[in-house]
Structure 1
Amino acid sequence: MLSRARRLLPRRDDYAGLKQSWRRDVLAGVTVGVVALPLALAFGISSGVGAAAGLITAVVAGLVAAVFGGSHVQVSGPTGAMAVVLAPIVALHGLGSIALVTVLAGLIVVAAGVSGLGRAVTFLPWPVIEGFTLGIAAIIFLQQVPNAIGSPAPPGRGTLLAAYEVVAQVIGSGDWSAALNTVAVVVFVAVVMIGLPRMHRGLPASLIAVVAATVLVQAFHVSVASIGELPSRLPAPVLPSVDVAALRTLVGAAIAIAALSAIESLLSARVAATMSPTGPYDPDRELLGQGLASVASGAFGGMPATGAIARTAVNVRSGARTRVSAIVHSLVLLAVVYLATGPVAAIPLSALAGVLMVTSFRMISAATVGQVLRSTRSDALIFVMTAVVTVCFDLIEAVEIGLVVAALFALRSVARRSSVVREELPGPHRPGDEQIALLRLDGAMFFGVAERISTAIVDAEHPHVTVVIIRMSQLGMLDATGAHTLAEITTELESRGITVIIKGVQPEHLSLLANVGVFDSLRHDNHLVGTLDEAIAHARSHVMTA
């Protein structure tokens, strides 16, 4: 227990090699901080919590997750997926609920890390992950449509329906005067973000695009909505007051946020581990760090945090090797809070909408989508279904439905490879061999195929059989339903006067077969044998004495 606690806490070797890499770590941290600034502001606004909350989250949660997390190069903060989940919570429960739900979700993630649930993300199928990512990208884009055309989103509507109604209202009214300014800003930002990296990959395209758009809007006095006033310092940490009635209504939302935080953070850390030479990550410690980050963020007035795949990728590509880079990223953003909130407040909302729209397209890999769609029909269906449910209904429900459908397809695939094969007895034929049925169980015998295997074993086409040998050495999977069915088959055959001999039981199946009564249903203990020769010799002895 003590060694496990040590593994989950910060230690000296978290900063191994810092003497050699500190310059690269500091430079990477500054680069990520510059990239993260417009994203933090944009995700805070799109969630409904506000730009200040997004900035606070990037500072506080980014710092805590960097110190306590399980990855050396992970960068944490507000993300598009979290903004998508928070928006309906703000609309339904009000802005005052965010602090409580953030802290509660953080505690749930901490509990998941301490209890060792970090490796559960490996059970998420690839088509579910990619469908989830595609759905989130679509929602991020759709969320920005109202800001992009300068029209407020109708309250109480889903993301897809709200975007449709805003566009339909502008088209129906024919009044494009307000929309032209905001659309022009969005197009300008998109052009800069797409074109600048082609000229020089090292430039922070999103920040340059936002700064240039802000300067042009101010210089030409373009009438567009801006971020507005931001705090010039971090607020004092205050734990939210716990109202039992409010807590009951927010538990479901907190569980959904915690699930999303855990999934996205672990996926991001896993991607970072494949990109970086710093080695593997600790999934349980990563959950602990992300949970503590959300608790701290909620105390300072921020929003729930997760590992951010895009910012983590920038961190790795910029040469980060230790946690110092993520710490520096938070300090850069902290400097913005204390030194530059005035200029930041003038940033047009439509400029941030442009940043998020371009970001949503960058989240989608056309090559990956093509690979999923070309893989198998079942995986393609899972991918499409997860994406559609994510956009039209709910993110967590999309993952749940995707997992269920993937499990059903997996069970069907296993069931198809499961069979009962009737074999000829080896060697020359002997008198009475026609009364012996040699049956081999292949693949798996579980609840999905137990009835079909039962029908194949109890074969009405061979009425003169007096001895049945069931070979189980090729059986890979056996569950309680399959074992119980085998016990019923043995009992039924023995009741008809047919001797059952079971051969080659796998060691891992012995206790299960014994517990459900398979061995008790055999006529004698010596009808459980280890080799095929022994089973055939015993069967022939029964035929000769019959």
Structure 2
Amino acid sequence: MKRSWRTLLPSLSDYRELRTSWRGDLLAGVTVGIVALPLALAFGVSSGVGAEAGLITAIVAGLVAAVFGGSNIQVSGPTGAMVVVLAPIVVSQGVEAVAIVTLLAGIIVAIAGALRLGRTVSYIPWPVIEGFTVGIGIIIFLQQVPSALGTEGTEHPTNAVLAAGAFIGAAEWPAALLPLGVAAGVIAIMLLLTRISGRLPASFIAIVVVTIAAQALNLPLATIGELPASLPAPAVPSFDFDLTALIGPAFAVAALAAIESLLSARVAAGMSDTGPYNADRELVGQGLASVASSFFGGMPATGAIARTAVNVRSGARTRASAIVHALALLIVVYLAAQVVAVIPLAALSGVLMATAARMVSPTLIKTMLRTGKAEAAVFVITGIITVSFDLIIAVGIGIAVAAFFALRAMSKASGVHREELPGSPEAGDERIALFRIDGSLFFGAAERLIDRINEHQGIEVVIVRLSQLHVIDATGAHTLTELITALERRGVTVIIKGIRPEHRDVLQRLGVIRSLRHPNHLFEELGPAIEHARSHIRRAELAR
């Protein structure tokens, strides 16, 4: 037990490559810090908790997750998906409630890791993940419309599409053209720099260029505003709230944090040869990161795939690079808070719009729509529900739809086939039916078994071959029991051949074997089963 718990905790082996990789880790950490700065500020502003909270989250949660997380190269902090969940919470419960939600969500995620639930993310189908990602990208883009137009206010529909339309209608034209031009300028610079070199910190450079231009021209633009010149002192969040109203949002945030962090860690492990990730430890680390963030007034943290990808491409080998990234942002707080304060909000909107646009890849959408009808349906449904309703509901419905199509495919792959009796025919063979059940016998295919066997009349002995049956669930076993009982009640003798060892327990517990007329009607080989069936026919002939 001690050994299993030890795998959830930091160890010196996390830094075994540091002696040879420290230069690369240092450079990667600084690079990621430069990339993370505008994103942290933008996500904080967009979620409604403020730029300061975004920066605090990147520093505190980024540091804690780097030390306690389960990935060697994961970089954590505020992300766009979390913004989508937090914005409605801020509107309905107020900014002060975010700290409590962050704390509760962190505890939930940490407990999930301690309970070894980390691998459950592998059950989420790929079309669900991609539909979810595209939906988040669309929402993030739409959420930037107010800042890009220089409009304010929250008296608008919570649905991102309706809210964006309302803000466009409420914008003051032509005054809105100025912030819109700033956002467009940031996007244009980022696109240009990305084409020149994928290694350039495009968002950081775009923010610097636009901010300098705005200050030089004295443009009337809303800015981030004053930031603290140091981290606030840690404090336990105030519990002066109706916790029952926050439990639901906390579970939603926790689910999203777990899903996004584990997906990011899984992608990162495939991008680098620094070793596998520990899914359970990753949940514990991300949970502790959000708890720590709540003490400093931050927001929930998750693994960030964009920053993690930059980390990998910059040469990171150990978690020291993510630690350096957090320390680099801390230096910004202490030395450059006044500089950061003058960044136009419209510029941050441009950064997030460009980030969101990269999440909605036309190539990926084409691939998903051409993969297959079932996959395309799951992808589209998940994306639409994400944009229209709720992220967590979208994932749940997406998984349910994917499960429906998977079960439907399994049901179609299973079959009940009547076979000819092998060898030379004998008198009375026409009254013996040999059925082979292939594939899976579960609740989706059980009724087909009954219908298929009931099609045949004048049968006195039925042999059911189960050796080709790969999967059987409780419903399938129960249906098989009912079928045998019904046939025996009609005077039809049932013989079962070839029960696989892994199916014996469920068939025994649910009465399949007990429903046979005689224990001798259970055979391992087909030859003896057919001979026994013929002996029943011969005895019946003599009785007549």
Under TM normalisation by the shorter chain, which class is it?
A: over 0.9
Instruction: Give me the whole-angstrom Cα distance separating, in 2, the residues matched to 1:260 and 1:529.
Output: 51
1:152-172 alpha-carbon deviations (Å, 9 max, x no partner):
2542522111101111234xx
Instruction: Give me the whole-angstrom Cα distance separating, in 1, the residues matched to 2:102 and 2:170.
Output: 35
Which amino acid letter does the alignment assign opposite residue 265 of structure 2?
A
SS in 2 for 1:468: strand
Normalising by structure 1, we get a TM-score of 0.97
| Structure 1 residues 97-136: aligned runs within 5 Å | 97-136=97-136
* Residue number among 272, 279, 297 corresponding to 1:276 in the alignment: 272
* Structure 1 contact 91–156 (Cα < 8 Å) conserved: no
Match of 1:73 in 2: 73
1:280-334 alpha-carbon deviations (Å, 9 max, x no partner):
1000000000000000000110000000000000000000000010000000000
Of 145-154 and 496-505, deviating more is 145-154
* Structure 2 contact 91–154 (Cα < 8 Å) conserved: no
Which amino acid letter does the alignment assign opposite residue 432 of structure 1?
G
Instruction: Give me the whole-angstrom Cα distance separating, in 2, the residues matched to 1:197 and 1:256.
Output: 34
Matched, 1:224 2:224: no
* Residue number among 463, 468, 472 corresponding to 1:469 in the alignment: 463
Give how far 1:213 is off: 0.8
Give how far 1:260 is off: 0.2
* Residue number among 394, 400, 405 corresponding to 2:390 in the alignment: 394
Give how far 1:26 is off: 0.2
Match of 1:161 in 2: 162
Instruction: Give me the whole-angstrom Cα distance separating, in 1, the residues matched to 2:110 and 2:25.
Output: 27
* Structure 1 contact 61–77 (Cα < 8 Å) conserved: yes
SS in 2 for 1:95: coil
Aligned length: 539
Match of 1:91 in 2: 91
Match of 1:39 in 2: 39
Give how far 1:534 is off: 1.3
* Residue number among 506, 510, 521 corresponding to 1:512 in the alignment: 506
* Structure 2 contact 104–250 (Cα < 8 Å) conserved: yes
* Structure 1 contact 105–258 (Cα < 8 Å) conserved: yes
Match of 2:234 in 1: 237
* Structure 2 contact 156–166 (Cα < 8 Å) conserved: no
Instruction: Give me the whole-angstrom Cα distance separating, in 2, the residues matched to 1:235 and 1:207.
Output: 25
Instruction: Give me the whole-angstrom Cα distance separating, in 1, the residues matched to 2:471 and 2:481.
Output: 16
CA RMSD of aligned residues (A): 1.1
Instruction: Give me the whole-angstrom Cα distance separating, in 2, the residues matched to 1:544 and 1:153.
Output: 89
Normalising by structure 2, we get a TM-score of 0.98
| Identity fraction in percent | 61
Instruction: Give me the whole-angstrom Cα distance separating, in 2, the residues matched to 1:269 and 1:367.
Output: 23
Instruction: Give me the whole-angstrom Cα distance separating, in 2, the residues matched to 1:276 and 1:365.
Output: 23
* Residue number among 512, 515, 518 corresponding to 1:524 in the alignment: 518
1:389-439 alpha-carbon deviations (Å, 9 max, x no partner):
111110001001101110111111111112210000001111111111001
| Structure 1 residues 117-196: aligned runs within 5 Å | 117-157=117-157, 158-170=159-171, 175-196=172-193
Match of 1:343 in 2: 339
Match of 1:262 in 2: 258
Instruction: Give me the whole-angstrom Cα distance separating, in 2, the residues matched to 1:43 and 1:297.
Output: 15
Instruction: Give me the whole-angstrom Cα distance separating, in 2, the residues matched to 1:198 and 1:131.
Output: 27
* Structure 1 contact 153–162 (Cα < 8 Å) conserved: no
Instruction: Give me the whole-angstrom Cα distance separating, in 1, the residues matched to 2:214 and 2:68.
Output: 41
* Residue number among 227, 230, 253 corresponding to 2:249 in the alignment: 253
Q: What stretches of structure 2 of length at least 5 have no aligned partner?
A: none
Match of 1:412 in 2: 408
SS in 1 for 2:275: coil
Which amino acid letter does the alignment assign opposite residue 473 of structure 1?
S
Give how far 1:242 is off: 3.0
* Residue number among 310, 313, 316 corresponding to 2:309 in the alignment: 313
Match of 1:27 in 2: 27
Instruction: Give me the whole-angstrom Cα distance separating, in 2, the residues matched to 1:24 and 1:360.
Output: 29
Matched, 1:299 2:300: no
Match of 1:7 in 2: 7
SS in 1 for 2:175: helix
* Residue number among 434, 444, 448 corresponding to 2:444 in the alignment: 448
* Structure 1 contact 65–289 (Cα < 8 Å) conserved: yes
Give how far 1:50 is off: 0.4
* Structure 1 contact 91–155 (Cα < 8 Å) conserved: no
* Structure 1 contact 135–391 (Cα < 8 Å) conserved: yes
Instruction: Give me the whole-angstrom Cα distance separating, in 1, the residues matched to 2:486 and 2:199.
Output: 75
* Structure 2 contact 138–360 (Cα < 8 Å) conserved: no
* Structure 1 contact 154–166 (Cα < 8 Å) conserved: no
Instruction: Give me the whole-angstrom Cα distance separating, in 2, the residues matched to 1:242 and 1:473.
Output: 61
Instruction: Give me the whole-angstrom Cα distance separating, in 2, the residues matched to 1:366 and 1:495.
Output: 61
* Structure 1 contact 24–320 (Cα < 8 Å) conserved: yes
1:164-196 alpha-carbon deviations (Å, 9 max, x no partner):
1111234xxxx5232111011111111111112
Matched, 1:537 2:536: no
* Structure 1 contact 438–468 (Cα < 8 Å) conserved: yes
Instruction: Give me the whole-angstrom Cα distance separating, in 1, the residues matched to 2:366 and 2:165.
Output: 28
| Structure 1 residues 356-375: aligned runs within 5 Å | 356-375=352-371
1:201-234 alpha-carbon deviations (Å, 9 max, x no partner):
3321111111111111111111110001111111
| Structure 1 residues 328-339: aligned runs within 5 Å | 328-339=324-335
Of 481-490 and 23-32, deviating more is 481-490
Which amino acid letter does the alignment assign opposite residue 74 of structure 1?
Q
* Structure 1 contact 189–213 (Cα < 8 Å) conserved: yes
* Structure 1 contact 469–503 (Cα < 8 Å) conserved: yes
